[in-house]
Structure 1
Amino acid sequence: MNFFVTQHIVIHSLKIDGISNSSVCQIGSAGIIKPVSKLYNTGGFTEPAPQLGPLPTTGSEEFVPLIPLVSPSRLR
């Protein structure tokens, strides 16, 4: 038995709160989804990563990213 689906999807906003190695986000119809999760040591590491030190803090409750972020440029 064959199903033919014609669809029109408009997404104005999509918020994803979390993602992991085996996350699947499906919009619309799919016959079969075969999720695959593979973990590779692409850096050739041979020992565990060092322990995380103390997190950076400020005098206020301001969020401090662990990775330095660049301010977005203005649109012209």
Structure 2
Amino acid sequence: MNMTVQQTINIHLLKIGSVTNSSVVQIGSTGSIHAQSDIYNTGGYTELAEQALPQDIEPPLVPLAPQT
């Protein structure tokens, strides 16, 4: 099935509160969304970070409810 969509979109303000992995912002219509992942070394790091140790992890400050 072929569909032709013609749109005019005016955006006066677009505010995005947060961006996480797998975030998608769609404006208008699309037939498909293709995944894209970009990784940038903005800190200029040249070595791997040291491995985190299990004893370095503190429990949460607020107790969590037990799973049911």
Normalised to the residue count of structure 1, the TM-score between the two structures is 0.48
Paired amino acid for 1:23: S
- Equivalent pairs: percent with the same residue? 51
Per-residue deviation, 1:13: 0.9
Q: What does residue range 33-52 of structure 1 map to in structure 2 within 5 Å?
A: 33-39=33-39, 43=44, 45-48=46-49
Gaps of 5+ in 2: 51-68
Q: Name the count of aligned residue pairs.
A: 49
Report which stretch shifted further, 24-33 or 40-49.
40-49
Per-residue deviation, 1:12: 1.2
Matched, 1:7 2:13: no
Gaps of 5+ in 1: 50-76
Structure 1 runs of 4+ aligned residues shifted over 4 Å read: 40-44
**Higher RCO (CA-CA < 8 Å; seq separation 6+):** 2
Per-residue deviation, 1:20: 3.1
> Paired residue for 1:32?
32
Within 2, Cα distance between the matches of 1:11 and 1:33?
Answer: 21
Within 2, Cα distance between the matches of 1:7 and 1:29?
Answer: 9
Paired amino acid for 1:9: I
Paired amino acid for 1:11: I
Report which stretch shifted further, 31-40 or 10-19.
31-40
Distance 1:11 1:40, change over 3 A: closer
Larger helix percent: 2
